[in-house]
């Protein structure tokens, strides 16, 4: 298990697979957007390469980029949420590499509740609109500014 995750990243911090009270099929895939960095480990890269029948080098070049000492998934523009993972289907809002997705995606959110799903449900009930989609932006900071 890693120490506290750096901001704006989806990392392998939580491993438990509890019973869940959220339904990803009713969500626009907020978690595939909000994290600017989705970590790709060497094992993830091997899985991706195998999935696409590519060499490791080709998969690395095509699907990932570096962020400092980290390898992360590339992203794409999305008319709904702005920027999202390159593997998100922009129409169905599903993961196009579900069986080959990185470990962090398999683990997320790692607890029985999803914060965004709670907001989504709350607003759909409050607005009495089963399709309304709250656009929530989270700004991460490493520490509380002095003041
Ligand atoms: S934000 Fe939550 S409910 Fe939506 S896809 Fe991600 S884990 Fe599922
Ligand atoms: S690999 Fe799939 S589950 Fe992971 S962030 Fe991308 S679209 Fe979402």
Q: Which residue CA neighbors atom 5 of ligand 2 most closely? A: 32
Q: How far is the CA of 103 from the centre of ligand 1 (A)?
A: 15
8 Å CB contact between 100 and 50 = yes
- Name the DSSP letter for residue 78: E
Task: Please report which confidence band the pLDDT of residue 14 belongs to, taking 50, 70 and 90 as the band edges.
Answer: very low
Cβ neighbours, 10 Å, residue 75: 20
Q: How confident is the model at residue 13 (pLDDT cuts 50, 70, 90)?
A: very low
Distance 147 CA to ligand 2 centre (A): 38
Q: Which residues contact 5 (CB under 8 A, 6 or more apart)?
A: 11, 13
**116: three-class secondary structure by DSSP:** helix
pLDDT in tens, 117-141: 999 999 999 999 999 999 988 888 8
| 68-111 per-position pLDDT tens digit | 999 999 999 999 999 999 999 999 999 999 999 999 999 999 99
Q: Phi and psi at residue 56, in whole multiples of 5°?
A: -55, -40
In this structure, what DSSP letter does residue 24 have? Answer: G
CA–CA distance, 69 with 82 (Å, rounded to integer)? 26
Stated as kind and residue range, the H or E segment containing 125 is: helix 115-126
Q: Is 84 in the pocket of ligand 2 (CB under 6 A)?
A: no
Question: In this structure, are residues 88 and 75 in contact, taking their beta carbons and an 8 Å threshold?
Answer: no
- The domain ranges of the chain are 12-126
């Amino acid at each position: 298990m890693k120490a506290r995750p750096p901001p704006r990243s989806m990392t392998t911090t939580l491993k438990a697979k509890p019973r869940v009270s959220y339904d990803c099929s009713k969500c626009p895939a907020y978690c595939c957007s909000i994290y600017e960095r989705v970590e790709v480990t060497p094992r993830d890269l091997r899985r991706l390469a195998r999935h696409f029948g590519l060499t490791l080098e080709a998969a690395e070049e095509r699907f990932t980029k570096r962020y400092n000492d980290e390898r992360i998934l590339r992203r794409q523009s999305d008319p709904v949420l702005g920027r999202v993972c390159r593997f998100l289907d922009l129409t169905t809002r599903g993961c196009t590499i579900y069986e080959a997705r990185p470990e962090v995606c398999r683990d997320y959110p790692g607890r029985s509740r999803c914060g965004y799903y709670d907001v989504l449900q709350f607003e759909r009930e409050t607005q009495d609109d089963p399709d309304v989609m709250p656009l929530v932006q989270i700004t991460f900071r490493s520490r509380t500014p002095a003041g």
